[in-house]
Amino acid sequence: MKGRVLVVLCVLALLGAVCSAQAATVGSSEIMGAGAWIEASAFGESVHGTLLGVSYGRFVHPNVQLRGDLIYGNVSAFGFSGSAWLIAPSALYYFPMSNQNSILPYVGAGFTFANVSGMGESDSSFKLSYMAGVKFYIGGDQDTATKSVFVEYRHTNVEIFGSPDIGLNMLWTGISTKL
């Protein structure tokens, strides 16, 4: 239930929030590299691991960015060992703070396509995802800096190999650069 409420809030923020400040110039883009700590929860158990990812984002409105993520990791959980890759398109809404232009919080929602293979099997899943994070600009503010570090929480589920939903909680951290 909490997840659905957060998704609704993210969608409302993306569609209806209007801030007087701007996060970026329309048409500007950035590329990001990140690593994530992941917790997978199912069958009353939780396991942990790491992922690597790259992203490309383009601003379609001063505060709205469309982003695509490509994520890869080795999986060893719930009696399964293999690899996983995920494709995750999303829309992010940035909340510029007029008194602090070097910090930029955001929320977002999107979809995650996950493909998991190993032990002679392969399966995929397509689910809703949501995220919230903050960028910290390096050597300037959101208008002048070309690099930033970010921290992001992301949640999605996967349904693979006939299992019930496996909850994935990810804590991302990485660096981005404006193109």
Angstrom CA distances, 141 to 137, 152, 179, stand at 6, 19, 16
Show me where the domains of the chain are located: 2-178
Write down the CATH number for the domain with range 2-178: 2.40.160.20
What is the model's pLDDT at position 176?
95
What values do phi and psi take at 28, rounded to 5? Answer: -75, 155
Would you state the structure tokens that stand for residue 8, as one six-digit string? 């609704």
Give kind and range of the element (H or E) at residue 7. Answer: helix 2-16
Residues contacting 148, CB < 8 A, separation 6+:
104, 135, 136, 137, 138, 175, 176
pLDDT digits (tens, 9 = 90+) for 51-101: 999 999 999 998 999 999 999 988 776 666 778 899 999 999 999 877 767
Residues contacting 17, CB < 8 A, separation 6+:
63, 93, 95
pLDDT band, residue 168 (cuts 50/70/90): confident
